[in-house]
Amino acid sequence: MTKLKFYSGLKEIGGTVVAVETDKAICLFDFGFSYADRLDSKVPLRKGMEAYDYVRLGVLNAIDGIYEPEIAHKLDIKGCGETDKEIFVIISHMHIDHMGGLGALDQRIPVYMSSQSATLYHELGVMGELEIREHENVIPVDYDGSFTVGDITITCVQVDHDVIGACGFMIKTPDGSICYTGDYRYHGYHPEISAAFAQKCKGADVMISEGVTISHNDVDVLSLEGPYRDNNEYTLLDKMKEYASADSEFAGGLIVINNYNRNVERIHNFARVIKETGRELVLEPEQAEYVAAFYQEDEFSVYLPEGGSVDGLLIKNRRIVTRKDILANPSRFVLQQDYKHAYELFELAGVISVYLHMDGAPLGDYDPSYAKFYELLSVARINVVRCGLGGHAEPYYLRKQVDDIAPRTLIPLHSFRPEQLLSRNVERIVLPNLNDTIELVNGECFFENNAWCWCSNKR
């Protein structure tokens, strides 16, 4: 028998942790933080005790067999190597709510992810962006590649999301098939990749889907007849080109972009169109390193405000642009700036013609930093244009993906209101409670009495 256990991430956005357990093995996905707001950056985690502190905070889950024995015993659970089944982790993409906890695992736990995610994961480690430490036992898997642990076979199926390397998974056990969408969208550069995901997972017995965009407003997804949004990565690319061109209203000064720096494909495309306008694209070392890991040929320079060098990085031979260079000739450049370096804007404010806030932190007014940041921009008298796109499929596509896959059972999660994701093309929809177990027998799900359930008339 196959059991699905839901540890966290059901009615929240973040910390999706689900176990698929058979007689021989346990597959866990994903491994990010839930309730990350319980962390207070003013209180540092204790060195060597990070995993323990995270579990006690409820940010990570108490799960047998995945933590170092010493930590696990203190938590009253079994340590790595002390369970009788093989345990492994699969990760859909490099967003903190899906991978932030990897550094807490015992280094022996095998962690599978797409090859592109593995490249980005390593670069995040190089740039000091990982929590606790870089996990050593990472196994890259090509898109459409499969591997088997015990009697569980996993296929890595690419999706389009706002981070390079994103995938979902098809999980097959002797009792049935489970498709996990990870996070995905249809307004990126490759809507066809998300559509292909649906074709490849068609007919899965169980579909576990994200539902971020139905989190806040009332949405009747069954009545939606088509997509409503009219912007996407291509319209943003056009806008970037227009703003950077010589006859734009912003031609007289420096253009600053605040991009989400794991979305390297956006910068890859920007590099091309910005070059056509005659401006020079200048990236901070972190962003530059991430882009260089995937697109060696892209033309960009590296921003070091005071000058210097970036030895030891992939970008070590790139041209360095300093603050002085920019102040001397601001209209020649497009400069990428992370929120972390916002005070640098005080130096540049006088020459900035526009600041393009495009999916970089702070993302929205739910983040306490957001109001502070906009206050800073206003105090510095910086002209801001918001042009973010987000990374999640709009409600119409959330439903269409379910319609197309047509699973027997749908389990929506990763949403504040997962019950809003409905489809007439499924037999039933189940919303388990935390720590519930769903049994999968012959492709059919059996679940606890108190779980929420919706049946279509297909059944």
Shortest Å, Cβ 88 to Zn ion: 21
Shortest Å, Cβ 13 to Zn ion: 6
Instruction: Name 350's Cβ contacts closer than 8 Å, sequence gap at least 6.
Output: none
Does 262 help bind Zn ion (rule: CB under 5 A)? Answer: no
Could you give the CA distance from residue 174 to residue 163 in angstroms, rounded to a whole number?
A: 33
Shortest Å, Cβ 160 to Zn ion: 11
Does 392 help bind Zn ion (rule: CB under 5 A)? Answer: no
Does 185 help bind Zn ion (rule: CB under 5 A)? Answer: no
C-beta closer to Zn ion: residue 100 or 330 = 100
Three state DSSP letters for 232-245: CHHHHHHHHHHHHC
Does 205 help bind Zn ion (rule: CB under 5 A)? Answer: no
Shortest Å, Cβ 440 to Zn ion: 24
Does 95 help bind Zn ion (rule: CB under 5 A)? Answer: yes
Instruction: Name 448's Cβ contacts closer than 8 Å, sequence gap at least 6.
Output: 432, 433, 436, 437, 438
C-beta closer to Zn ion: residue 38 or 324 = 38
Shortest Å, Cβ 38 to Zn ion: 18
Could you give the CA distance from residue 242 to residue 234 in angstroms, rounded to a whole number?
A: 12
C-beta closer to Zn ion: residue 95 or 135 = 95
Greatest alpha-carbon pair distance for the chain in Å reads 70
Q: What is the Cα Rg of the chain in Å? A: 23
C-beta closer to Zn ion: residue 33 or 67 = 33
Shortest Å, Cβ 403 to Zn ion: 22
C-beta closer to Zn ion: residue 159 or 273 = 159
C-beta closer to Zn ion: residue 97 or 289 = 97
C-beta closer to Zn ion: residue 165 or 176 = 165
Q: What would the DSSP string read from start to end of 292-318?
A: HHH-TT---EEE-TT----TTSTTTTS
Instruction: From 97-105, 222-230, 313-321, 342-350, give the range in contact with Zn ion by CB under 5 A.
Output: 97-105
How many CB atoms lie under 10 A from the CB of residue 291?
27
C-beta closer to Zn ion: residue 183 or 286 = 183
Q: Is the dihedral of CA 308, 313, 316, 319 positive or negative?
A: negative
Shortest Å, Cβ 208 to Zn ion: 13
Q: Percent helix, strand and coil across the chain, each rounded to 5?
A: 30, 25, 45
Give which of 365, 362, 360, 354 is closest to 388, Cα–Cα. 360
Instruction: From 90-98, 116-124, 224-232, 381-389, give the range in contact with Zn ion by CB under 5 A.
Output: 90-98
Peptide bond into 362 cis (omega under 30): yes
Is the distance from CB of 296 to CB of 290 less than 8 angstroms?
no
Q: Which one among 160, 183, 205, 394 touches Zn ion, defined by CB under 5 A?
A: 183
Shortest Å, Cβ 223 to Zn ion: 26
Does 172 help bind Zn ion (rule: CB under 5 A)? Answer: no
What does the binding site for Zn ion look like in residue numbers (CB under 5 A)? 95, 97, 183
